[in-house]
């Protein structure tokens, strides 16, 4: 795996895990029983804590990327075709 493909794999893993982590701990105005002002959605989270989630997701993505890298380097699962196209 080259550096560019490794970076792309990391970005894909990061975004997938980030979208999975977004709903955790998010409380909306509707759930808290508060009214929103004009132009604000009732479903918008009060404190989304995006920086904390991004930091946690980065650590998780690094671990998952390490597993993918290990599988690729040791050829536990071969991603290469044996016959040319």
Q: What is this structure's pTM?
A: 0.77
Q: Is the pLDDT of residue 84 over 70?
A: no
**How is the chain split into domains, by residue range?**
1-23+47-78
- Cα–Cα distances in angstroms (integers) from residue 14 to residues 8, 61, 84, in the given order: 10, 5, 32
- Tens digit of each residue's pLDDT (9 = 90 or more) over 45-56: 888 889 999 999
- Tens digit of each residue's pLDDT (9 = 90 or more) over 14-71: 999 999 999 898 888 777 777 777 877 877 888 888 999 999 999 999 999 999 999 9
Residues paired with 28 in a beta bridge:
45
d(CA 4, CA 34): 47
């Amino acid at each position: 795996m080259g550096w560019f493909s490794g970076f792309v794999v990391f970005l894909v893993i990061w975004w997938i895990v980030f979208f999975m982590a977004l709903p955790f701990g998010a409380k909306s105005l509707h759930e808290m029983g508060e009214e929103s002002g004009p132009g604000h959605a009732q479903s918008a989270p009060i404190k989304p804590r995006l920086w904390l989630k991004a930091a946690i997701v980065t650590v998780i993505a690094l671990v998952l990327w390490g597993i993918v890298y290990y599988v690729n380097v040791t050829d536990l699962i071969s991603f290469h075709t044996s016959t040319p196209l």
